[in-house]
Amino acid sequence: MGVPAWPVGVAVGAIERVPLHAALLPAAPVPSASARVRAVLEGVIGRLIALEEPLNALDARVGDGDTGSTMAAAARSVRERLDQLPLNSAGALCLALGELLSRSMGGTSGVLLSIFFTATGSALLAGADWAAALEQGAARMQLYGGATVGDRTMLDSLLPAVGVLRAGGDLGAAAQAARQGAEATAQLTQARAGRSSYVPAASLQGVQDPGAAAIAAVFAE
C-alpha cells in the first residue's frame, strides 16, 4: 500500500568521497618533550581512567551513565598521542588537546572541553599567563554552553578553581576549591543544563555532578 504523504524515493549513484583541501586541515602540532608536563599528563590520564566506573555510577543516577567512559576514552586518546604532542609549549599543547578532544571525546562535554582548551591555548600564545588563559577558556565555555556555578555542571568545579588562581592562589588552593565546588553540587536539587535537567529533584539530592567530580579529580593531580 502506498503512502501518499511521503515523497517518492529517487535512486542515486555511488557517493564519491572528496578529500578536504589541505588549507582547511588543522596544522599538525610539532612534537616536543618535557618530562614535567608529561608526568602531569600521565597522572591526569591515569586518574581519569581509574575513575571510569565511579563516574559512570554517579552519572547513572543523574544522567546517561557514561561520563566516566567519555572521560576515560578522552584520556586514552591523549595517552596514545603523548609522543606527538608539543609538551614543551603550553599554548600549542592546549590547542593540540582541543583539536584532539574534538575528535575523540563524545557528547556535549567533549565539545565544551575542546572549546575550553582551544581558547586557553590561544590566550597563552597571545601572552596571557596561566590564570588569565584559564579564565578566558572558562568564559568561552560559558558563552557556548550557557551554564554557570549552581547549574550542576563541570563549571561548578572549574570556575571556583580558576577564580582562586586568578586571585593569586596556588594549585593546592585551586584543587581544594574545585573539590568543594564538586561536593556542593550534591546539595543542588535543580540542574539547569545537561541530562540532569530532566531528573527529578529527589534523585539529584546527595549525588555529586559527575562532570564536576571529574574536573575536581584533574585539579587534584
What pLDDT score was predicted for residue 190? 67
Rg (CA), the chain: 20
- Please give the average per-residue pLDDT across 88-106, as a whole number: 93
**Other CB atoms within 10 A of residue 111 CB:** 16
Residues in the chain: 221
Separation of alpha carbons 179 and 194, rounded Å: 20
Q: What are phi and psi of 176, to 5 degrees?
A: -65, -40
* Averaged pLDDT for residues 166-186: 97
pLDDT value of position 39 = 97
If DSSP codes are grouped into helix, strand and coil, which group holds residue 86? Answer: strand
Distance CA 171, CA 24 (A): 38
pLDDT tens for each residue of 44-55 = 999 999 999 999
Quote the pLDDT of residue 23: 66
Q: What is the C-alpha to C-alpha distance for residues 36 and 87, in angstroms, rounded to an integer?
A: 9
pLDDT of residue 219: 96
Q: 32 by DSSP, 3-state: which? A: strand
> Nearest to residue 150, comparing CAs of 195, 209, 206?
209
Contact at 8 Å (CB) between 90 and 130? yes
